[in-house]
């Protein structure tokens, strides 16, 4: 049974000292960030990091992100940082952006899946930031969930799943964004989006040419090497079979979803369309609302005991690209575009 700390209403940094000691002692701590909850361990302690993979049932070729609290910590673990990478760090850190950098030997191979690079992020969530600062070490932290399942955006959703797999739980309430960070790699002074998130193509285009990896909306082959977590394996998925439906033509979209619908289906749709279906859940009206709600909703659908979940897609512009990336994987690439 993990130690539990509730800081939803009464937070100060001193409360995190015990959790920071757990990190320094090689233990696992479940903590909030602005994106999703993470399962954290000392990112420079090989044995501690191995325990993250065991707790999640995570494949060893799926790299982890190291979370830092300052520039000095970045320079402790990364090398050959380019002027453009420093510019991106200065503009987007702290925040929901992960930059894949060339790593130093101090970073264990288990963190990077034996790659020469490591993803680095500086959370803006105060609890996460203070925990890293008090621990005085980079914290390796994938999303808080059993691998393949939707990421955790509040403790209630993941407590039973992870309570006996970690040593300490910090409850900071609902996460602000609800989707994992944008992951990028700078190559030849161009920004490559490996995993989309809250920091969008449009945001990054102000600094350099931006390319979007073909893996973002397509299935990754088994033997493909990926630099970003969350791209290679079945991910974000409930046990119930799901199908994603999208069209630029709203009438075509609704008609197709109605065609697929029966008494044994559940529809996840824009709040404005709920009354067009027999059994529907609204995921919000705006992209920000959808990103905040979608993992919580995906975690709830198995309780409905339906044969099929029909999910309405969104346009792949702005934050919509990140939402569609997650939904396509939640549906195991079972995707209809009209």
Specify the CATH number for the domain of residue 93: 3.90.870.10
pLDDT in tens, the chain (338 residues): 899 999 999 999 999 999 999 999 999 999 999 999 999 999 999 999 999 999 998 888 889 999 999 999 999 999 999 999 999 999 999 999 999 999 999 999 999 999 999 999 999 999 999 999 999 999 999 999 988 888 999 999 999 999 999 999 999 999 999 999 999 999 999 999 999 999 999 999 999 999 999 888 876 655 555 555 555 555 677 889 999 999 999 999 999 999 999 999 999 999 999 999 999 999 999 999 999 999 999 999 988 899 999 999 999 999 999 999 999 999 989 999 99
Tokens of 71: 């520039």
CA-based R_g, the chain, Å:
20
**Closest among 307, 300, 309 to 331, alpha carbons compared:** 309
pLDDT at 227: 58
User: Could you tell me which residues come within 8 angstroms of residue 241 by beta carbon, excluding any fewer than 6 positions away?
Assistant: 307, 308, 309, 334
Strands 182-187 and 97-103: what pairing? parallel
Same domain, 251 and 203: no
Please state whether the predicted TM-score (pTM) of the whole model is above 0.95: no
Q: Is 185 helix (H, G, I), strand (E, B) or coil?
A: strand
Same domain, 255 and 192: no
- Residue 42 maps to a domain: yes
Kindly tell me the burial class for residue 240, based on how many C-beta atoms sit within 10 Å of its own C-beta (0-12, 13-18, 19 or more): middle
Q: What is the domain-level CATH number for residue 284?
A: 3.40.50.11030
Same domain, 260 and 199: no
Same domain, 250 and 108: no
Same domain, 161 and 266: no
Contact 169, 46 (CB under 8 A): no
211-221 as b/e: b if 16+ CB within 10 A: ebbebbbeebe
Same domain, 317 and 262: yes
Q: How many CB atoms lie within 10 A of CB 273?
A: 17
Beta-bridged to residue 182, according to DSSP, are 97
Tokens of 55: 């707790």
Same domain, 158 and 99: yes
Contact 74, 81 (CB under 8 A): yes
Same domain, 93 and 157: yes
Residue 293: which domain range? 242-337
- Residue 233 maps to a domain: no
**Closest among 183, 166, 154, 159 to 295, alpha carbons compared:** 154
**Of the residues 193, 212, 231, the one at which a domain ends:** 212
Residue keyed to tokens 């990103």: 291
The DSSP element (H or E) to which 42 belongs, if any, is strand 38-42
Same domain, 176 and 135: yes
pLDDT at 228: 56
pLDDT at 90: 98
- Residue 217 maps to a domain: no
Same domain, 19 and 96: yes
**Of the residues 212, 232, 260, the one at which a domain ends:** 212
pLDDT at 320: 97
Same domain, 29 and 159: yes
Same domain, 128 and 256: no
**Closest among 35, 11, 216, 3 to 122, alpha carbons compared:** 35
pLDDT at 220: 65
**Closest among 125, 104, 169, 99 to 36, alpha carbons compared:** 125
pLDDT at 283: 97
- Residue 304 maps to a domain: yes
pLDDT at 1: 81
Number of domains in the chain: 2
pLDDT tens, residue by residue, 48-62: 999 999 999 888 888
- Residue 188 maps to a domain: yes
pLDDT at 70: 98
């Amino acid at each position: 049974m993990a130690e539990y700390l509730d800081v939803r209403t009464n937070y100060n940094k001193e409360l995190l000292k015990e959790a920071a000691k757990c990190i320094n002692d090689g233990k696992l701590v479940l903590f909030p960030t602005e994106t999703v909850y993470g399962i954290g361990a000392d990112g420079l302690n090989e044995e501690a990091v191995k325990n993250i993979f065991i707790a999640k049932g995570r494949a060893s070729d799926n790299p982890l992100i190291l979370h830092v609290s300052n520039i000095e910590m970045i320079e402790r673990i990364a090398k050959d940082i380019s002027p453009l990478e420093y510019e991106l760090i200065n503009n987007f850190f702290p925040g929901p952006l992960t930059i894949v950098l060339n790593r130093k030997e101090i970073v264990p191979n288990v963190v990077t899946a034996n790659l020469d690079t490591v993803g680095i992020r500086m959370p803006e969530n105060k609890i996460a930031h203070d925990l890293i600062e008090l621990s005085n070490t980079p914290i390796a932290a994938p999303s808080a969930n059993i691998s393949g399942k939707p990421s955790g955006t509040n403790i209630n959703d993941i407590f039973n799943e992870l309570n006996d797999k970690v040593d300490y739980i910090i409850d900071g309430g609902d996460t602000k964004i609800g989707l994992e960070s944008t992951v990028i790699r700078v190559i030849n002074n161009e920004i490559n989006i490996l995993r989309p998130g809250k920091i969008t193509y449009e945001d990054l285009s102000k600094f350099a040419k931006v390319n979007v990896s073909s893996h973002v909306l397509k299935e990754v082959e088994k033997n493909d090497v990926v630099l970003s977590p969350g791209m290679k394996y079945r991910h974000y998925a409930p046990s119930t079979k799901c199908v994603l439906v999208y069209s630029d033509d709203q009438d075509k979209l609704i008609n197709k979803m109605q065609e697929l619908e029966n008494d044994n289906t559940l529809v996840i749709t824009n709040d404005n369309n709920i009354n067009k279906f027999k059994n529907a859940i609204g995921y919000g009206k705006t992209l920000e609302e959808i990103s905040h709600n979608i993992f919580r909703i995906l975690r709830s659908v198995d309780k409905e005991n339906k044969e099929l979940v029909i999910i309405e897609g969104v346009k792949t512009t702005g934050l919509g690209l990140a939402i569609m990336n997650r939904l396509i994987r939640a549906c195991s690439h079972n995707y209809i575009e009209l």
